[in-house]
Structure 1
Amino acid sequence: MRLLVSVFFIFSVSLQAAETAKIHTVPLSSIRLTDGPFLHSEQTNLQYLLALDADKLLAPLRREAGMKSKVESYGNWENSGLDGHMLGHYLSALAFLGSATANQQIKARLDYLLTELQKIQQVQQGYLGGVPGSKALWQQIQQGQIEADLFSLNQHWVPFYNIHKTFAGLRDIYLHSGDQRAKNLLFNYGNWLKKLVKNLSAQHIQQMLLTEHGGMNEVLADMAVIFDDPDYMALAKSFTEVRILQPLLKGEDKLTGLHANTQIPKVVGIARIAELSGDKAWLKAAEFFWSLVVEQRTVAIGGNSVREHFHPKDDFNPMLNEVEGPETCNTYNMLKLSMLLYRQTGQSKYLEYYERGLWNHILASQHPEHGGFVYFTPMRPQHYRVYSKVDQAMWCCVGSGIESHSKHGEFIYSLDNNALHVNLWIASRINTPQIKLQQRTLFPDEATTELIFEAPSRLKLQLRYPSWAGVVRLWRNGKAVEVTAKAGEAILLSGPWQQGDRIKLELPMQLSLEAMPAKPDYFAVLFGPIVLASRSTPFPNESLSFVADDSRMGHIASGPTCPVSAAPLYIGDSKNFLASLQRLPNQPLAFGTGQGFLQGQPELIPFFRLHDSRYQIYFQHRSLELWQQQKALQQQQDKAAALLEDQTLDKVYPGEQQPESDHFYQGEHSEAGVNAGRHWRHSKSWFSYQLNHKGQQNLTLRLEYFGLDGGRAFEIWLDDKKLTDVELKSGLGPDWYSVDYPIPNDMLPKNADHFRVKFVAKPGSIAGGLYQVLLLKL
């Protein structure tokens, strides 16, 4: 423990001279969770981590090194192009949890992994990755042969995103344990990277950065400090994508249509570079990004994005209608960004968001029993989530999930030169040379917290006065203390403190309504910062699987959707709705709803406690007259949507990262972009997707085009058979339209449940653009 603490403070001191901020996070080794849902989450995650097989995670790296593997790798994303990414997440999670618990099994697992990584790195001359075909790929990159698409670099699935996880994992092990083996591995890996890009121009690197690359700029900035090497800071800046940075520096919102979690880690890196360099312009750019996301594109739980992309900030219809709602990885990274911005500015809004996202999205994304993780959390009324299975699902949100639930203590407290900041109300103990203190609380079931000094201290206490709290009351050793601070500010208490001194804080929580952005007729119900939701059972005797299978798209809850028009809604004044809520007895935190609801009588509980069920977070409220006027139209739209859903065997949204990778996109000289909020893809050569026909016959391929692309000519192929020639009509105007292409049964493969549809441009023309690809049964 002494080693862990000393390493952290050596690292902190080395940063302080360069940082403009004087607020520092407290090392996980100095924090222990003592009670409550976050302790339960941490313990559940411990079992999940130990259930993972280290040799299976190492298998892709051993394969690329030409070494014999003891076992085969995991499946799912771990053997379909993103091979090895989970190992990096696993290293970080072990580092965090080992520091947070001092668990010996975790330590032993880390020891084994570091020993094996040393063997692999010796063979690979510094490289540590499982990217399929690594040798040829990195040789091409080193020689400046770069073909970059949104998620494909030289026909490989996001290789820099992949290896970033291992860079970050080694960094985290060193920073949280001081293990010199991790530092040496990171040093060698860094030298490999320097050699890789040594002869590349700035233009080459920016071209590479078109492909998702994780937070490479962040980890490189950290390496500049770890190794006291300014070359890494220069590299961190060169790995910062200008296409994202420049609009932010100018105060321009260019986020609509972009893949959300591709951008957030880049801005985490921008904020980290600003913290280390004192660059105020870069800090302002990161703050502007945060405001664009949190204040304009975020729903009540703290999450953002639909189908992984930022939709227009004035159109939240996709959030209500799609089943692929906020992605958990996004919030994982937004919490990192919020912590970085709070350290540099001290602004309470970053704490407020952190609390909201931690309780209502991160905590809610882990199953409290088997520990599985959620990818998408739909806001569509009465839909549901699916959870990972430890030996099958290897999604990105599993990787960020095992990290998140290993470090719940990282931002409960922070320190400046004079005070301990108490940021979150979570039962815990802090033990640093400056202060030893225990926080006892049953929040949010009870609205109080008590701080008990376990040793004398001269530090001041800075207690957050949340904006959601009513009139706060405070007692010092049993005596009432007048609180002059206001909601959104901080309560500052001076020492010195003696062992046994107690501070009791009462934080009255109130019920409130929060409208969905750009949808003022839909609201979420909160109790303090806690989002409430209701279970839903719209289909009698329904049997759903809430554990995902191991298929490429198993992370999507693809069961039947419920008509939006059939969801419970409130008729009348929203003020009367709040007044009608009654807290239910004999339950930790639950509310019954009164009169005014149609189509159901919801019972509201904290969303983080709602699992294995359909649910509803947002409720529509209307006048009875307006609802009656609109219900017929909504029912008609629901009926049409349900019919199309029933006909659809498979679908691709061209130009959107995950749908394309899930359908094994391939292509040459292809481009993707956004037109009026709609994604598209076209090519001067060809591009293709794998579609699953599920053994069905009598099929139709439905393609969606844009009217101003008239005159383009291309061919459509199914595997090695040409389906048809296409020439897009001219003179249709700036709107979208669809064309159906029947597929003869004799063109379907006889021994496979999938085929590859390929779009090939005619000489001098362009294939596409395509806005949607649907495979329908007639």
Structure 2
Amino acid sequence: MTYKACTLGQVSLGSGVYEDRHRNNVDYILSLHNENLLQNHYIECGINRYPNLFGTWEGKENSHGEHLHWGWETPGSAVRGQFLGHWLAAASREVAATGNATLRIKALNIVDELALCQKEHGGEWVFSIPELYMDHLAQGHPNGVPQYVLHKTLMGLLCAYRYLASDKALDIARHASQWIMRWARQFDADRWNAILDVETGGMLEVWADLYEITHDVKYREMLDLYWHQHLFDPLLAGEDVLTNRHANTTIPEAIGAARAYEVTGAQCWKDVVEAYWKCAVERRGFFATGGCNAGEIWCPPFEYAARRGDKNQELCTVFNMMRLADVLFRWTGRREFLDYYELNSINGLLAQTHARTGMPSYYLPLEGGARKLWGSRLHDFWCCHGTAVEAGAMHGEGIYYYDESAELPAVVVARFVNSKLTLPIANGELHIAMQEGSSMQGDALHNASSAGALHRPQSLTAYLKVENAGQASIILRLRMPSWCSGSPTISVDGVRRPAHAVNGFTELVIAPGRCEVTLVVPKELRAVAIPDAPETVAFLDGPVVLAGIADRETTLYGDLKRPTSMLASNNERQWGTWMHGYRSIHQPQSMVFKPLYEVDDEAYCVYFPTQPCAT
């Protein structure tokens, strides 16, 4: 079974938390000035198109380069210019998804300016750092991580080609790759493997994409050259080569291996991906949030208690591990990869972007009484800043998948997110409009909602309006998540249907025409322990991690087998909306709990030492 992802242009987000974050992201990327996005590329190639870019022209008072990009984008930073690639990738995807005309103009202008930079630099080098940085890397004393920076520009250009149909962007990328290929082919095996030990970003993925687009054998040769022997060989031998290793150096290499398999069919690449997942997830475990690193390095297998601190769960690793989970679901159809994707999407991507400003948190602290440290609009530009911008344009992904290989085509509803799908099928289209029940809201101005249940339902309800405008039936495959705590129910046009799950999914045959499907998935409050500290727990409501609002670690008293002996619903309804809060009960001090993704500036705790109640 092989699935394809329903992606940009096929899926649109409906009102709700994901669309809110998406809109924040669009507003932000539109607000950035092209000349500042390009500032380091201009400097590197010697273009003086904006002589007052840094606010120093003619010594004018109060000319401070108001929109200049600082932080990692400061001229002189070893990784300057990396953000532009993220921006261009995000903008290109956004245009493909929504047709945003203003963003299209901005993005294509960026491509034009990069072409000018490349021309001024001799026709190949188009990057924001000096060529000399690559020489330093080869000599064993690198300035930062130059291949990582190169990858970001190439990634953005290839996204502009793919989503904006910009042949110019592909031409720039191909000419730039000529320089890298000449450079990479000059080393013996020992020197080259030492070079590959320094973070390469997604260079392996770039070569795979170029090979898929052009079918040029030289890019296939580069795939083979970028086989990272010091990582891939021990992974295939079943060794743990990840513990205490920088996490986001290796995850993009696994993604690159996945793309290499998809474009070449060579089994060795697929074997690397599967071995990587086993080492990184199955044989390691993760925090309740889905993260599995501290201080940017992998935690030891199932030993997390001593790794909680102020630098857990780097956002880049969340996003890239979600990408890897997406790949493995498409290859296998196994529900566990969707469970992982959902957990990290809610308690990673959402939890690490500010609800109002859209700015990212580099880390997600898991120590008691922590606060999230938010980036700024112009003064940080961390790697995770770029990742957040890119991820913000992709919230509509990972919701629907489809499979055309069987007798009846199948569409998977993978996550329960307010959204619409328009999918071409045989002799027509399939339309799905999905609304998650708790977000069918009323407020002070729209207060005609029905009374409904007396208390907050312990279930997730998804309403799907389905129109099969084709000429044959299709299968609607609904994910039954691992957090489901009882027997789900399904009705079609008000008539109950059997909801037997097979391998984590239940199926409905949808004939041509229209119908309304209602899915109710029971959920419960759960206490999830740290693997090596079973009496220290986090609380989850379905897939949502709850945060206690507190400025220090607090012990809770109660029965771990009955989390409701410690927490109860709090402020559960306003007008027609069921809220998500809890409060502690039977404790020396009261504490309010809310979803971790709703915590912006408060101090909070995710994990709590527990003790049995005194008899």
Q: Offset of 1:329 from its aligned partner?
A: 0.7
SS at structure 1 position matched to 2:272:
helix
Equivalent of 2:417 in 426, 430, 434: 426
Aligned counterparts of 1:414 and 1:442: Cα–Cα separation in 2: 18
Q: Report the count of equivalent residues.
A: 562
The one-letter code sitting in structure 2 at the alignment partner of 1:517 is: P
**Contact 2:37 2:84 (C-alpha < 8 Å) held by counterparts:** yes
- After the TM superposition, which residues 34-433 of structure 1 pair with which residues of structure 2 at under 5 Å, given as runs? 34-70=14-50, 71-72=53-54, 74-79=69-74, 80-124=77-121, 125-131=123-129, 134-138=130-134, 140=135, 146-148=138-140, 154-295=141-282, 296-320=284-308, 322-417=309-404, 418-433=409-424
Aligned counterparts of 2:479 and 2:395: Cα–Cα separation in 1: 18
Aligned counterparts of 1:454 and 1:494: Cα–Cα separation in 2: 12
Deviations 1:544-566 (A, max 9, x none): xxxxxxxxxxxxxxxxxx5xxxx
Aligned counterparts of 1:224 and 1:482: Cα–Cα separation in 2: 47
SS at structure 2 position matched to 1:272:
helix
Aligned counterparts of 2:19 and 2:350: Cα–Cα separation in 1: 11
SS at structure 2 position matched to 1:349:
helix
Change in CA separation of 1:68 and 1:297 when aligned onto 2, cut-off 3 Å? farther
2:445 counterpart residue number: none
**Contact 1:429 1:438 (C-alpha < 8 Å) held by counterparts:** yes
The answer to whether residue 568 in structure 2 is matched with residue 582 in structure 1 is yes
**Contact 1:216 1:236 (C-alpha < 8 Å) held by counterparts:** no
RMSD: 2.1
Aligned counterparts of 2:353 and 2:3: Cα–Cα separation in 1: 30
Aligned counterparts of 2:49 and 2:529: Cα–Cα separation in 1: 53
1:608 counterpart residue number: 597
The one-letter code sitting in structure 2 at the alignment partner of 1:147 is: Q
Equivalent of 1:529 in 531, 543, 559: 543
Q: Offset of 1:189 from its aligned partner?
A: 2.0
TM-score by length of 1: 0.69
Gaps of 5+ in 1: 1-20, 149-153, 539-561, 627-778
The answer to whether residue 582 in structure 2 is matched with residue 569 in structure 1 is no
Q: Offset of 1:281 from its aligned partner?
A: 4.2
Aligned counterparts of 2:313 and 2:614: Cα–Cα separation in 1: 33
1:479 counterpart residue number: 495
The one-letter code sitting in structure 2 at the alignment partner of 1:234 is: E
**Contact 1:297 1:310 (C-alpha < 8 Å) held by counterparts:** no
Which structure carries more relative contact order (alpha carbon 8 Å, separation 6+)?
Answer: 2
Query: In terms of mean alpha carbon deviation, does 51-60 or 324-333 score higher?
Result: 51-60
Aligned counterparts of 2:591 and 2:301: Cα–Cα separation in 1: 29
Q: Offset of 1:160 from its aligned partner?
A: 0.2
**Contact 2:468 2:511 (C-alpha < 8 Å) held by counterparts:** no
The answer to whether residue 478 in structure 2 is matched with residue 463 in structure 1 is yes
Aligned counterparts of 1:74 and 1:602: Cα–Cα separation in 2: 40
**Contact 2:468 2:510 (C-alpha < 8 Å) held by counterparts:** no
Greater Cα radius of gyration, structure 1 or 2: 1
**Contact 1:568 1:601 (C-alpha < 8 Å) held by counterparts:** no
Deviations 1:149-198 (A, max 9, x none): xxxxx431100001101111111122223222222222222223223323
2:435 counterpart residue number: 441
Aligned counterparts of 2:238 and 2:367: Cα–Cα separation in 1: 32
Change in CA separation of 1:192 and 1:216 when aligned onto 2, cut-off 3 Å? same
**Contact 1:468 1:509 (C-alpha < 8 Å) held by counterparts:** yes
**Contact 1:221 1:236 (C-alpha < 8 Å) held by counterparts:** yes
Change in CA separation of 1:453 and 1:315 when aligned onto 2, cut-off 3 Å? closer
Deviations 1:627-667 (A, max 9, x none): xxxxxxxxxxxxxxxxxxxxxxxxxxxxxxxxxxxxxxxxx
Deviations 1:248-295 (A, max 9, x none): 111111211101111111111122222333344432332232233234
The one-letter code sitting in structure 2 at the alignment partner of 1:192 is: W
Aligned counterparts of 2:375 and 2:583: Cα–Cα separation in 1: 32
Change in CA separation of 1:521 and 1:147 when aligned onto 2, cut-off 3 Å? farther
Deviations 1:46-82 (A, max 9, x none): 1111122221121111111121152245221112211
Change in CA separation of 1:294 and 1:169 when aligned onto 2, cut-off 3 Å? same
Change in CA separation of 1:230 and 1:493 when aligned onto 2, cut-off 3 Å? farther
Query: In terms of mean alpha carbon deviation, does 426-435 or 282-291 score higher?
Result: 282-291
Change in CA separation of 1:517 and 1:231 when aligned onto 2, cut-off 3 Å? farther
TM-score by length of 2: 0.87
**Contact 1:251 1:285 (C-alpha < 8 Å) held by counterparts:** no
The one-letter code sitting in structure 1 at the alignment partner of 2:608 is: F
**Contact 1:249 1:281 (C-alpha < 8 Å) held by counterparts:** no
2:584 counterpart residue number: 593
Q: Offset of 1:444 from its aligned partner?
A: 5.8
Q: Offset of 1:316 from its aligned partner?
A: 2.0
Aligned counterparts of 2:358 and 2:387: Cα–Cα separation in 1: 13
Deviations 1:378-418 (A, max 9, x none): 11011111111111111000000000111111211111112
Q: Runs of 4+ in structure 1 displaced over 6 angstroms?
A: none
Deviations 1:495-544 (A, max 9, x none): 3231x3222111122111111122212111111111111212x3xxxxxx
- After the TM superposition, which residues 491-506 of structure 1 pair with which residues of structure 2 at under 5 Å, given as runs? 491-498=506-513, 500-506=514-520
SS at structure 2 position matched to 1:254:
coil
Aligned counterparts of 1:412 and 1:326: Cα–Cα separation in 2: 23
- Pick the structure with more strand per residue: 1
The one-letter code sitting in structure 1 at the alignment partner of 2:593 is: L
The one-letter code sitting in structure 2 at the alignment partner of 1:130 is: S
Aligned counterparts of 1:280 and 1:513: Cα–Cα separation in 2: 40
**Contact 1:61 1:128 (C-alpha < 8 Å) held by counterparts:** yes
Aligned counterparts of 2:305 and 2:49: Cα–Cα separation in 1: 48
SS at structure 1 position matched to 2:540:
strand
Q: Offset of 1:432 from its aligned partner?
A: 2.4
**Contact 1:429 1:436 (C-alpha < 8 Å) held by counterparts:** no
The answer to whether residue 606 in structure 2 is matched with residue 617 in structure 1 is yes
Aligned counterparts of 1:615 and 1:53: Cα–Cα separation in 2: 36
**Contact 1:448 1:505 (C-alpha < 8 Å) held by counterparts:** yes
Gaps of 5+ in 2: 55-67, 440-458
1:657 counterpart residue number: none
Aligned counterparts of 1:218 and 1:371: Cα–Cα separation in 2: 28
SS at structure 1 position matched to 2:351:
helix
Q: Offset of 1:372 from its aligned partner?
A: 0.9
Aligned counterparts of 1:209 and 1:250: Cα–Cα separation in 2: 19
Change in CA separation of 1:35 and 1:414 when aligned onto 2, cut-off 3 Å? same
Aligned counterparts of 1:479 and 1:234: Cα–Cα separation in 2: 58
Aligned counterparts of 1:622 and 1:368: Cα–Cα separation in 2: 34
Aligned counterparts of 1:443 and 1:382: Cα–Cα separation in 2: 32
**Contact 1:167 1:186 (C-alpha < 8 Å) held by counterparts:** yes
**Contact 1:325 1:378 (C-alpha < 8 Å) held by counterparts:** yes
Q: Offset of 1:623 from its aligned partner?
A: 4.1
Aligned counterparts of 1:175 and 1:524: Cα–Cα separation in 2: 42
Aligned counterparts of 1:49 and 1:612: Cα–Cα separation in 2: 23
SS at structure 2 position matched to 1:60:
helix
Change in CA separation of 1:534 and 1:205 when aligned onto 2, cut-off 3 Å? same
